[in-house]
Amino acid sequence: MLKSIVTGAGHYLPERVVTNDDLSEMMNTNDKWIVERTGIHERRWFTPGVDTVTSMAKNASIMAIKNAGIENKAIDFIIFATITPDYFIPGNGVLLQRELGLQGIGALDVRNACSGFLYALSVADQFIKTGMYKNILVVGAEIQSSALNKNDEGRSSAVIFADGAGAVVCSATEEEGRGILSTHLHADGDFAEELYVKDPGSSREVRVSQELIDSGSFNLSMNGNTVFKHAVLRFKEVIEEALATNNLESKDIDLLIPHQANLRISQYIQNKMDLRDDQVFNNIMHYGNTTAATIPIAISESIQQNKIKSGDLVCLAAFGSGFSWASAIIRW
């Protein structure tokens, strides 16, 4: 039976480090509040003129393809998860495809925010299982810093979100006992406006006007408390769904990689699921919340740090705007 396995991972983080003290010079916040409420110490912001979503994704992809031990030309499909594309149209998949010299292959964009990478991975898994493609490049990359309202009004989002890119190569295998065991996708549009960017929406007579800009509708709007409360429930639920589907228990997990939304969310899940520190991977302290990029960055770093080895049971889980949430369970 055809299955998909992750054969290589890569990541790229922009060079510019922004500390909590740097933020406190821009808005009324402080290191103590940010560390206590989010666990974040520093994050990376892109440098205009140097980094683009495409360039960061390209760097992450080259590393993932190299680690997979294949050539660019072996990639037969690209799935790109981002909510911060370089252009409004077309999507980022084609821009990355051009940079990698892969003109002609299909390129799909996924817009499921923090769950975007897992939605993309699930799509890749289905395409591979049906035999349609052999090596799919799955990417998550974001530039959030240019959309943040960096003043007192936007501080609860501005301290969390950041920039970065990660990528994996998903390949077909017939090897027994390895691969993506299952993926689980969910959403509840009742909560669409709890975490959203309203404009430039298409349903208004004029998409961009000074009045709209002044109203703040181009800024990220987040009801942090509501998001937090739903996140802790849905994360646990979707991880348990993945375990139950495969007759597994939380003690069987070698590494849980939760979407890096807030260290307190990760710690809450760890506690509720009775997981040891070495079973949960966190890097939000250094990079903040890079939306669709957090999970592939974390996969790449976990492999580099020998925290994922062949045969390990790895669980991935995410929650974010939509609301949407998802998990994947992989025998590495």
Q: Select 106 or 224, whichever has its Cβ closest to ligand UT7.
A: 224
**What type of residue sits at position 142?**
E
Structure-token pair, residue 300: 């790449």
- Measure CA 29 to chain center: 26
Q: Select 52 or 156, whichever has its Cβ closest to ligand UT7.
A: 156
Which of 11, 114, 230, 315 is the catalytic position? 114
Shortest gap between Cβ of 234 and ligand UT7 (angstroms)?
10
Nearest CA among 95, 186, 133, 152 for reference residue 4: 133
Between CA 114 and CA 227 the distance in angstroms is: 12
Between CA 114 and CA 76 the distance in angstroms is: 25
CB 157 within 8 A of CB 222: yes
β-strand 255-258 against 313-320: which pairing, if any? Answer: parallel
Name the phi and psi angles at 47, rounded to 5: -105, 115
Shortest gap between Cβ of 114 and ligand UT7 (angstroms)?
4
Q: Select 107 or 284, whichever has its Cβ closest to ligand UT7.
A: 284
DSSP symbol at 86: S
Between CA 265 and CA 243 the distance in angstroms is: 19
Between CA 308 and CA 10 the distance in angstroms is: 14
Shortest gap between Cβ of 200 and ligand UT7 (angstroms)?
22
Q: Select 134 or 259, whichever has its Cβ closest to ligand UT7.
A: 259
Per the annotation, the verdict on 289 as an active-site residue is yes
Buried b (16+ CB within 10 A) or exposed e, 21-59: eebbeebebebeebeebbbbbbbbbbeeeebbbbbbbbb
Between CA 27 and CA 8 the distance in angstroms is: 40
Q: Select 221 or 245, whichever has its Cβ closest to ligand UT7.
A: 221
Q: Select 302 or 321, whichever has its Cβ closest to ligand UT7.
A: 321
Which residue number has the CB closest to ligand UT7?
A: 224
Nearest CA among 284, 297, 288 for reference residue 139: 297
Shortest gap between Cβ of 42 and ligand UT7 (angstroms)?
14
Per the annotation, the verdict on 259 as an active-site residue is yes
The residues binding ligand UT7 (CB under 6 A) are: 29, 33, 37-38, 114, 155-156, 159-160, 195, 224-225, 227-228, 231, 261-262, 289, 320
Per the annotation, the verdict on 114 as an active-site residue is yes
Which of 219, 259, 283, 315 is the catalytic position? 259
Shortest gap between Cβ of 183 and ligand UT7 (angstroms)?
19
Shortest gap between Cβ of 237 and ligand UT7 (angstroms)?
15
Q: Which residues have a catalytic role annotated?
A: 114, 259, 289
